[in-house]
A and B are shown apart, each in its own frame.
Chain A
Amino acid sequence: MATIRTRPPGSSRGGRPHAPRSAGSWIATTLSGVALLLLLTIHMVANHFVVASVGGLRSYHQVLEYIANPAIFTIEAIFLLFVTVHAMLGLRGVALDLDPSPRAQRWIDVGLITLGLTTIGYGAFLIGTLASRA
């Protein structure tokens, strides 16, 4: 008689409890994605159509003047925040598909939070420095 072993639903290869992607994570990814669609549209139109005569922002001084505009600076800062959050949630989803152990999962979360905060910090430094040079 053949015996077939199957993993019970909700468990993973090593017998460890499987941690499916939570509903909260899905909602956060979706909401940040929706916000990104709006912000990305503004970002692209402002960058590539506002200065239509030259095909978009090109020269060094054009870029500095653009980013120094308070409205643009705010939009770009919010865009940076949402794109980073969405990217980190996406990377987390891919990583969790590899079925990591709970310990590895904690390290993944810590690593992605660190990477996300570093990205936001560097991006804020970048646009802040450029705006101050205008």
Chain B
Amino acid sequence: MSDTVPGADRRAERGPVLRKGVGIPASGWFDPRGRALGGFAFSANRVTGLGLVFYLYLHLGVLSLLLRGERSWDDFIRLATSWAFLSLDVVLILGILYHGLNGIRVALVGSGLVADRQRALWWSLGVFGTIALVAAALHIYGSR
């Protein structure tokens, strides 16, 4: 028997973050260090998901202005058509596209339909998403 801890040499190497214990660490998903593509995609999916939940309630709050009448809504629309606000819309579309397209990838891989093509799916959906984002940005800024 050895007096050294098994794996001590490997733990001393620089590289992916290693830790003790079983499975993904609690709250470790938002730490992107040393993650492979799948881990990064998972973390980004969680971050965009939380952002979209925040937006859901923000959207309900904004639509509540309609209850206060025409003047409140028109004041908001003047703000919403500014460049800064429209840029936030583009960020929103980025979040929606990433979360939606990655969700398709996770559903296809997780259901076993294309379990061995997750990297190819990530990149192909990424290209599609980028094109869609550019088109959406042009539409958003063009509608001003």
Q: Which residues of A contact B (CB under 8 A)?
A: 1-2, 4, 6-9, 13, 26, 30, 33-34, 36-37, 40, 48, 55-56, 58-61, 63-64, 83-84, 87, 90-91, 94, 97-99, 119, 122-123, 126, 129-130
- Docked CA distance A99–B60 (Å): 31
> Is B96 an interface residue when CB atoms closer than 8 A count as contact?
yes
Residue of B nearest to A54 (CB): B143
Q: How far is the CB of A85 from chain B (nearest CB, A)?
A: 12
- Docked CA distance A122–B91 (Å): 26
Segment at the interface with A among B9-17, B24-32, B114-122: B24-32
B87-125: CB near A (< 8 Å → 1, else 0) gives 000000000100010011011001100000000000000
> Is B134 an interface residue when CB atoms closer than 8 A count as contact?
no
Q: How far is the CB of B61 from chain A (nearest CB, A)?
A: 10
Whether B60 lies near A119 (C-beta < 8 A) is: yes
Q: How far is the CB of A115 from chain B (nearest CB, A)?
A: 10
Q: Which residues of B contact A (CB under 8 A)?
A: 1-6, 20-22, 24, 26-27, 29, 46, 49-50, 52-53, 56-57, 60, 63-64, 66-67, 69-70, 73-74, 77, 96, 100, 103-104, 106-107, 110-111, 139, 142-144
Main secondary structure of the interface of B (DSSP, over half): helix
Residue of A nearest to B5 (CB): A2
Residue of A nearest to B20 (CB): A6
Contact partners of B24 in chain A: CB under 8 A: 97
Contact partners of A37 in chain B: CB under 8 A: 100, 103-104
Across the interface, A9 reaches (CB within 8 A) one of B3, B22, B67, B106, namely B22
Q: Given known contacts A1-B1, A55-B144, what 12 new A-B pairs fall within 8 Å (CB)?
A: A7-B22, A8-B22, A30-B107, A40-B96, A56-B143, A59-B73, A91-B53, A98-B26, A98-B27, A122-B60, A126-B60, A130-B67
Contact partners of B57 in chain A: CB under 8 A: 119
Offer 10 A-B interface pairs, CB within 8 angstroms, sorted by A.
A2-B3, A30-B110, A30-B111, A36-B100, A40-B96, A60-B73, A64-B66, A94-B50, A119-B56, A130-B66
Contact partners of B74 in chain A: CB under 8 A: 59-60
Q: If the complex has contacts A94-B46, A98-B27, are A60 and B56 also in contact, measured as CB distance less than 8 A?
A: no
Contact partners of A13 in chain B: CB under 8 A: 26
Contact partners of B52 in chain A: CB under 8 A: 87
- Docked CA distance A97–B100 (Å): 21
